[in-house]
Structure 1
Amino acid sequence: MTGSVSRRVLLRGAVGLAAAGGLAGVVDLARTAGTGRADTTGGLRVGYLPITDAAPLLIAHSAGLYTGTSVATTQPVLFRSWSSLAEAFLSRHVDVVHLLMPMAVQLRYALGGAARILGWSHTNGSALTVAPDVTDLGELAGRQIAIPFWWSIHNIIVQKMLREHGLRPVVRAEPSRSAGTVGLVVMSPSDMLPALANGAIGGYTVADPFNAAAEIKGVGRIHRFLGDVWRDHACCALLVHEDVIERNPAGVQQLTDAVTTAQLRIGADRGRAAETLKSGDYLPQPLPAITKALTYPPDEYRITHHDWNPQRIGYQPFPFPGFTRALVEAMHETEIDGDRTFLSRLDPTTVHADLVDDRFVRQSLIRGGGPAAFGLPADLTRTEEVDPT
């Protein structure tokens, strides 16, 4: 925590996060606070949401890659909402998390949490899933779409899509078909599928395997992969507290090495990774949904940019500065229900250097065989490509 920010400020922020995440956030935080740290060795404790975004942290645990490192070898702690995961991180009940990258920006600059991004947990891996009767984006006018959190790449991208198609996203307002408005509501990922099934919402945008599960259950269909809108966008980032880096840089390097090694393992055998995520009791969803989420056949979907492989969740760790800049710029134009005043203090050109510490992931890339082993360009540069049409 930065010296200028009190514990009271962080607690106020946690309350706000719980409000955005709903009752599940409060329940999860209470459970975590009540049990305390199960690991007594002082190892860094991992927290996660049960989605394929968390796979590198979970596969690293299953493969024993944390053994002999500063990371706790106890079972990672499962949370049901982004707010509860962030609250547990702020309150130091977990030390390592995968967190929505826009949420990481909010955590550091709005809530004063001294957190740093070590690298990306994954790219792509999300979609806009709609009710079976929705065949065109315009048919969502007058209906609601669920998002996992206000500051999420899901909210940012779906709003770009809606505006591109002449629709206007609204918050705390009744959506109108005649006015071409679409209501946005925050919902825990686990609540989205039943809400779609009972008609409470017309669609949702979220990480997998919740999109795959809707198709398997026959209650929804994937309208578009978000990777078909923003090429290889980062959804979740690997986050630790800044003082952990200062106190134990060697341990942070061990953590980054373990996660990047796990990313390579997932890429080498996605089917086996899916089985591990299920058999290891990391993800509660059925194996067919997890497997499908990791191995979508592209010929079953309408895809605009086939060369982007937008249906394929990617496990590459390098945090490109250009993405951070484009993300912060996009946050300025995104509708949310909550405080956005912190954005006025942010310069998109300088956020990356302050928020991201890529020293460790650069070393991990070398140890993992170089950028090419992860499907990355040798010079570790890229140009952002966004197409919401």
Structure 2
Amino acid sequence: MQTMPQDPLDMVNDLSKMGLFKADAFKVADSITGQELRQALFLKMAAKGDPKRERLVVELAKQAGGLDNAFAAAFGPQSGQFFADSIRASQFTRREFLRNLAIGAAMVTLANCAKAPDESTPTPGESVAPVEGLEKTDLQIGFIPITCATPIIMSEPLGFYKKYGFNAKVVKMPSWGAVRDSAIAGELDAYHMLAPMPIAMTLGLGSGAFGVKLASIENINGQAITIAERHKGKINGPADFKGFVLGVPFPYSMHNLLLRYYLATGGLDPDKDVQIRPVPPPDSIAQLVAGDIDAYLMPDPFNQRAVYEGAGFIHKITKDIWPGHPCCAFAASDAWIGENPNTFRALNKAIIEAAGYAQDPANRPEIAKAISDRAFLNQPVEVVEAVLTGKFDDGNGNTLDIPDRIGFDPYPWQSFANWISSQLIRWDLQDDGKVAEVITPDTYNTVGENVFLTDLARELAIEVGQTPPEEIYRIEKLAYDEFDPADPSTYVQAQIDKYGV
């Protein structure tokens, strides 16, 4: 340590060679607050009972002029502003500040390296430093009883809400319309929403304009097209659905948009050749059996439950239509976020951490047991476990093993928002031209970036040890085409030209 170079750039190089510093640690060092990382907790995390490691951390702190100086420089929530203030106050030189930031980043990396391999994902309910400044701790979070809501639901029984200082209760809602109406009425603090809903609500599509932010994605994939048993052997592709009555959970849903996308590839006009109607997911199997609908594109566990009951068979999982597509999301209103900024940040962080836990296949049997309870999904454990593990019967005599049948990647890609907007334009669900008025070729990015909180989700994911992407847009590869988020209008026109709708 006595030979530690004083030049910050040389220090970074040395620390890199020692394996104590990674470039990503700068981001963490810039985002963690001193309140969340107090000296005792940090030493405990970094040392893990190893006296040599603890001495190394202490020596690093000495090089920075003490833990307070290192934390102030490295972990300030706005380090750029801190540096400017420091220069004016003549407390630090620029070189000293950069040195401390480099040391702080090394300390963050050291703490992360201290985790054992099986500790990369936090243990449910594991305590953290007290969360300070929460405007509200008693929370009610609305959810629909489907596996898409897994991170929101499991955070209650597995202790993720408690870990961040909340006494939070999840509230079972009967339909997406009820979720929307309760959100507008202010009856809930936050909600489980379909990914298109925050866009639609903010733009005033299907309801009065009401500002909602999509904070993080709850699940990717995880849906399926299920067909009534009476049609077995008759359906081979989208063209065979002509004349069907089809259920989706809500007009402004990925289910509706994906179903329309799929049907159009078979030459069907979703507004003329079939009937698509909203069906609350809990009612879907009963309507399938009664003959009110012929098939549905629904979230699980209702596809797997239809197989379990002998009511229907799985025709296609949505992963085969768009691998990695978004489905549901965690959301809150603009007004509530403005009134409770610290609470919102901590709550979103808890759910992002829960999503990371759910993404690990090893944790899914435990999660299935926790969320199958009557208070949550009220489903047989074996049905929920079949969905979460991807080991399932499809009702056609096949036993499948598809581990990514459902996933829990919380990162809200802006390209998701642009695809959703493109399909709202394509199908004009209100049939009055309003969609084209509020989403134009020049406003695709603006709409998405105003609603999807991608940067915040990345920041919080890094804080809980995840590795989200740097990019916010990507080319989305669907089964029948590729979506370039830089040119949604051309994409929509190409779809219309190819399929006629």
Q: TM-score, normalised by structure 2?
A: 0.62
Contact 1:59 1:273 in 2 (8 A): yes
Which residue is 1:56 aligned to? Answer: 151
Which residue is 1:135 aligned to? Answer: 235
2:185 pairs with one of 84, 88, 91 = 91
Q: Does the residue aligned with 2:406 lie in a helix, a strand or coil? A: coil
Asked if 1:297 is matched to 2:417, the reply is no
Which residue is 1:234 aligned to? Answer: 326
Give 1:125 shift.
Answer: 0.9
- Structure 1 letter corresponding to 2:383: A
Which residue is 1:166 aligned to? Answer: 267
Give 1:311 shift.
Answer: 5.2
1:274 pairs with one of 365, 368, 372 = 368
Bigger Rg, structure 1 or 2: 2
- Structure 2 letter corresponding to 1:99: M
Give 1:168 shift.
Answer: 1.9
Identity of aligned residues (%): 25
Asked if 1:322 is matched to 2:412, the reply is no
- In 2 relative to 1, CA 199–162 (structure 1 residues): closer, same or farther, beyond 3 Å? same
- In 2 relative to 1, CA 280–71 (structure 1 residues): closer, same or farther, beyond 3 Å? farther
- Distance, in Å, in 1 between the alignment partners of 2:290 and 2:374 is 31
Deviations 1:96-153 (A, max 9, x none): 1111121221111112212111111111111111123243233321121111111111
Long gaps (5+) in structure 2: 1-135, 482-501
Give 1:264 shift.
Answer: 2.0
Q: Does the residue aligned with 1:350 lie in a helix, a strand or coil? A: helix
Give 1:68 shift.
Answer: 6.4
- Distance, in Å, in 2 between the alignment partners of 1:97 and 1:230 is 25
Which residue is 1:150 aligned to? Answer: 251
- Structure 2 letter corresponding to 1:135: I
1:125 pairs with one of 194, 197, 222 = 222
Which residue is 1:113 aligned to? Answer: 210
Asked if 1:348 is matched to 2:449, the reply is no
- In 2 relative to 1, CA 294–223 (structure 1 residues): closer, same or farther, beyond 3 Å? same
- Structure 1 letter corresponding to 2:146: I
Q: TM-score, normalised by structure 1?
A: 0.78
Kindly report the root-mean-square deviation, in angstroms, between the aligned alpha carbons of the 2 structures.
2.7
What aligned pairs does 1:185-224 form with structure 2 within 5 A after superposition?
A: 185-224=277-316
- In 2 relative to 1, CA 214–166 (structure 1 residues): closer, same or farther, beyond 3 Å? same
Q: Does the residue aligned with 1:206 lie in a helix, a strand or coil? A: strand
**Which is worse superposed, 275-284 or 312-321?**
275-284
Give 1:186 shift.
Answer: 1.2
- In 2 relative to 1, CA 167–379 (structure 1 residues): closer, same or farther, beyond 3 Å? closer
Give 1:210 shift.
Answer: 0.5
Which residue is 2:174 aligned to? Answer: 80
Larger RCO (alpha carbons 8 Å, 6+ apart): 1
- In 2 relative to 1, CA 118–378 (structure 1 residues): closer, same or farther, beyond 3 Å? same
1:101 pairs with one of 190, 195, 217 = 195
Q: Does the residue aligned with 1:333 lie in a helix, a strand or coil? A: helix
Long gaps (5+) in structure 1: 1-40, 172-180
Asked if 1:369 is matched to 2:449, the reply is no
**Which is worse superposed, 349-358 or 141-150?**
349-358
Contact 2:176 2:280 in 1 (8 A): yes
Give 1:271 shift.
Answer: 0.9
- Distance, in Å, in 2 between the alignment partners of 1:343 and 1:58 is 36
Q: Does the residue aligned with 2:315 lie in a helix, a strand or coil? A: strand
Asked if 1:261 is matched to 2:379, the reply is no
Contact 2:414 2:454 in 1 (8 A): no
- Distance, in Å, in 2 between the alignment partners of 1:70 and 1:108 is 30
- In 2 relative to 1, CA 360–62 (structure 1 residues): closer, same or farther, beyond 3 Å? farther
- In 2 relative to 1, CA 122–359 (structure 1 residues): closer, same or farther, beyond 3 Å? same
Contact 1:58 1:277 in 2 (8 A): yes
**Which is worse superposed, 102-111 or 239-248?**
239-248
Give 1:85 shift.
Answer: 1.0
**Which is worse superposed, 273-282 or 134-143?**
134-143
Give 1:363 shift.
Answer: 2.2
- In 2 relative to 1, CA 310–388 (structure 1 residues): closer, same or farther, beyond 3 Å? farther
How many residues are matched? 332
- Distance, in Å, in 2 between the alignment partners of 1:335 and 1:293 is 33
Deviations 1:8-38 (A, max 9, x none): xxxxxxxxxxxxxxxxxxxxxxxxxxxxxxx
Which residue is 1:184 aligned to? Answer: 276
Contact 2:192 2:331 in 1 (8 A): yes
- In 2 relative to 1, CA 310–290 (structure 1 residues): closer, same or farther, beyond 3 Å? closer
Q: Does the residue aligned with 2:292 lie in a helix, a strand or coil? A: coil
